[in-house]
Amino acid sequence: MNDELRVLIVDDDKTNRRVLKECISGIAQVLLAKNGHQAIEKAIELQPDLIVLDVVMPDMDGFSVIETLRNRRNTEHIPIIFITGSGSEEVEMKGLKLGAVDVIGKPLHPGVVQARIYTQLQNVFQRRLLGSLANIDALTTIANRRQFDEVLEKEWNASLSRQTPLSLVILDVDYFKKYNDHFGHLSGDRVLKNVALTLKDSLNSENALVARIGGEEFAMILPDTHLEKAQALVKAAIESVQALNIAHPASKCNPVVTVSAGIHSFIADQVLNREAAFDLADKALFKAKENGRNQFSFTDNLNPYQAIEIETGLSEF
């Protein structure tokens, strides 16, 4: 297993903390908290992969800690193992009902503790692996459609609640079918991979997402990004694809591989929905293609039920 996994030990008793630490330090990185408040603070800030939580503690007991963590979006997913000295079925049931993945009784037997923690860490590791595979496009190694949908939903809600701008970009490789016909599918796949990684590099932002959402179709989600900034980013992205200088003799717009893009910038609204926003970005892309490709078009119209006037982006670089 890998030593990147981190376990937060929460116990008011110093001896128990030491015993637990000895059990875990060989298989994962150890974080310590000596009361409930500290546990919550550290869980939020350090995002451990597993929490080993004592039930009986002064001030705030383990039950209150797990309830608090389960009600927070960035801690609700962290698995928790309860440590209890009571040995009562009632306490054990309560812990499991609150969402604990396991309950370990005191006195602590190091071999047993270690084995049970190891099992939970393996689960975490496998879930993480499966989760990352399910969200990645196998050909290009960037995000796939599924991850795009998830992130768009998240950022849509963030834009709605904070009323911050969000830009959605759809991009398409120009005359890609002609490239495939000319050079074959293997070469086409290499182009997709190259373009994908170039688009990703060109954004160079932790918050932004670049995904492959279809054959030669890509999309970007740019949180906290208004139209003007989105235009600059997309212009740079289009330029960096052209700068790859991949020969495309079958292209009718340029001797090298290029992309076209459509941008829709907006603040999420109760009336609108994500599909409508996507549709507007797609219409802008269509306009960019109509105008001659290797360029972008955009719209920041907040109401998709009105006629859409899409302005033309730069037609030449």
What is the DSSP-derived secondary structure letter of residue 4?
T
Q: Where does 193-237 show beta strands of DSSP type E? A: 209-212, 217-223
12 sits near Mg ion (criterion: CB under 5 A)? yes
Which positions from 57 to 96 touch Mg ion by CB under 5 A, shown as an x/- string? x---------------------------------------
- Binding segment toward Mg ion, per CB under 5 A, in 7-15, 169-177, 232-240, 254-262: 7-15
Distances, alpha carbon 248 to alpha carbons 221, 245, 296, in Å: 28, 9, 20
Q: Which is nearer to Mg ion, 21 or 274 (CB)?
A: 21
Please select the residue that binds Mg ion; options are 27, 32, 44, 56, rule is CB under 5 A.
56
Question: Rounded to an integer, what distance in angstroms lies between the CA atom of residue 235 and that of residue 157?
Answer: 27
Task: Choose, from 216, 228, 275, 311, the residue flagged as catalytic.
Answer: 216
Alpha-carbon distances, residue 307 vs 11, 78, 299 (angstroms):
62, 47, 11
Burial class (CB in 10 A: 0-12, 13-18, 19+), 182: middle
Q: CA 125, 127, 129, 131: dihedral to nearest 10 degrees?
A: -150
Q: How far apart are alpha carbons 223 and 233 in whole angstroms?
A: 12
Q: Are 222 and 234 in contact (CB under 8 A)?
A: no
Stretch that binds Mg ion, among 5-13, 70-78, 103-111, 288-296 (CB under 5 A): 5-13
117: nearest Cα among 53, 50, 62, 34: 50
Q: Does 10 interact with Mg ion (rule: CB under 5 A)?
A: no
Residue 33 or residue 152: which is nearer to Mg ion going by CB? 33
CB of residue 10 vs Mg ion: minimum separation in angstroms?
9
216 assigned to active site: yes
Residue (98 or 253) nearer to Mg ion, CB: 98
Q: Which stretch binds Mg ion (CB under 5 A): 6-14, 34-42, 122-130, 194-202?
A: 6-14
54 binds Mg ion (CB under 5 A): yes
Q: Give me the least distance between CB of 23 and Mg ion, in Å please.
A: 17
Q: Of 56 and 227, which has the nearer Cβ to Mg ion? A: 56
Which residues form the interface with Mg ion (CB under 5 A)?
12, 54, 56-57
